[in-house]
């Protein structure tokens, strides 16, 4: 290989992007499953900055990421409206579940998340909130607002200001209730006495979206490489890889990208 060829090869090898994403995509193991396939297809390395969705959006707003991949549609649409991305695209979905101790002292079990939270509040059962402005925290706050106990969540309500994995660890060690995305729960090993108590409520639907950060706002954004990632994730190859990610035979995410 000549010098020019070697330089070109090195340039391809050096291609990389930063993706600001959620703790759920990271802690569920999805990126470990997906990114090697993208690298194989494109030659591009992806560095994931995994934060709560609110922090991930702030990272992208500062121009410290090329792509944003999160799950709070209201905030994502605001990101686009403010000119930080030209558009958002659906990628995949799963759902939230309420987990808690098998004995279920607050008697929450069922398919109604709002009724369950009312019972948590009325019994002052221990409840761990992410409290970190993540997509899961935003969803939890939406559900509390649907109750008539939003101002008084009970003396057992505690905010950890932490990611999904740490919140689950706190809940498992203290026998508390906690709202989690199903994917992180399926990948969580330290369950102790926790089990899924509330699922199947249509309000627990959890949509993920992806956006290429605007180079008009931040000229340093790697537009070409970032667009390749967006196109792959929302295209047939990436969607198939997402669908193929399973734990114990159970699919964690369901692709639903539309062009």
What pLDDT score does 49 carry? 97
Q: Does pLDDT of 13 surpass 60? A: no
Question: Tokens representing 24?
Answer: 């759920």
Q: Can 3-93+208-255 and 95-204 be said to share one CATH topology? A: yes
Q: Which residue has the higher pLDDT, 8 or 157?
A: 157
Task: In whole angstroms, give the CA distance from residue 197 to residue 37.
Answer: 35
Please list the residues that pair with 171 across neighbouring strands: none
Window from 13-22, 66-75, 139-148, 157-166 with minimum mean pLDDT: 13-22
Structure confidence at residue 150 as a pLDDT band (50, 70, 90):
confident
For residues 203-209, give the mean pLDDT.
Answer: 97
% pLDDT > 90, the chain: 91
Calculate helix-pair angle for 73-81, 53-61, nearest 10 degrees: 10
Structure confidence at residue 255 as a pLDDT band (50, 70, 90):
very high
Q: Does pLDDT of 1 surpass 90? A: no
Task: In whole angstroms, give the CA distance from residue 70 to residue 53.
Answer: 6
Q: Does pLDDT of 81 surpass 60? A: yes
Q: Which residue has the higher pLDDT, 103 or 259?
A: 103
Q: Does pLDDT of 149 surpass 60? A: yes
Whole-model pTM? 0.90
What pLDDT score does 258 carry? 81
Which CB contacts under 8 angstroms, 24+ apart, belong to 240-249? 241/33, 241/34, 241/37, 242/30, 242/34, 242/91, 242/92, 244/33, 245/29, 245/30, 245/33, 245/34, 247/29, 247/186, 247/187, 248/186
What pLDDT score does 103 carry? 98
% pLDDT > 70, the chain: 94
How many CB atoms lie under 10 A from the CB of residue 190? 11
Task: In whole angstroms, give the CA distance from residue 191 to residue 259.
Answer: 39
What pLDDT score does 109 carry? 98
What pLDDT score does 259 carry? 61
Q: Does pLDDT of 7 surpass 90? A: no
CATH match for 95-204 among 3.40.190.10, 3.10.580.10, 3.20.20.10, 3.30.429.10: 3.40.190.10
Structure confidence at residue 140 as a pLDDT band (50, 70, 90):
very high
Structure confidence at residue 10 as a pLDDT band (50, 70, 90):
very low
Fold of 3-93+208-255: D-Maltodextrin-Binding Protein; domain 2 (3.40.190)
What pLDDT score does 14 carry? 61
What pLDDT score does 151 carry? 83
For residues 209-215, give the mean pLDDT.
Answer: 98
Q: Does pLDDT of 31 surpass 70? A: yes
Q: Where are the domains of the chain?
A: 3-93+208-255, 95-204
pLDDT in tens, 83-127: 999 999 999 999 999 999 999 999 999 999 999 999 999 999 999
Task: In whole angstroms, give the CA distance from residue 148 to residue 133.
Answer: 22
């Amino acid at each position: 290989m000549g010098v020019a060829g070697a330089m070109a090869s090195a340039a391809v090898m050096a291609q990389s992007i930063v993706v600001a994403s959620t703790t759920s995509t990271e802690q569920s193991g999805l990126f470990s499953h997906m990114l090697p396939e993208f690298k194989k297809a494109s030659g591009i390395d992806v560095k994931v900055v995994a934060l709560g969705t609110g922090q991930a959006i702030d990272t992208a707003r500062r121009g410290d990421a090329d792509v944003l991949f999160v799950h709070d549609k209201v905030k994502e649409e605001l990101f686009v409206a403010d000119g930080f991305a030209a558009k958002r695209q659906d990628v995949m979905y799963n759902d939230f579940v309420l987990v808690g101790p098998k004995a279920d002292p607050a008697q929450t079990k069922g398919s109604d998340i709002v009724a369950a939270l009312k019972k948590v509040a009325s019994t002052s059962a221990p409840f761990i909130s992410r409290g970190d402005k993540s997509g899961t925290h935003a969803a939890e706050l939406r559900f509390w607002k649907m109750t008539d106990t939003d101002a008084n969540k009970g003396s057992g309500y505690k905010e950890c200001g932490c990611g999904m994995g740490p919140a689950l660890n706190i809940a498992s060690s203290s026998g508390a209730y906690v709202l989690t995305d199903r994917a992180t729960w399926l990948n969580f090993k330290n369950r102790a006495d926790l089990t899924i108590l509330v699922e199947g409520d249509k309000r627990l639907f959890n949509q993920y979206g992806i956006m290429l950060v605007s180079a008009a706002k931040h000229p340093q954004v790697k537009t070409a490489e970032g667009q390749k990632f967006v196109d792959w994730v929302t295209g047939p190859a990436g969607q198939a890889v997402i669908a193929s990610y399973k734990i114990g035979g159970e699919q964690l995410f369901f692709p639903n990208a539309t062009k």
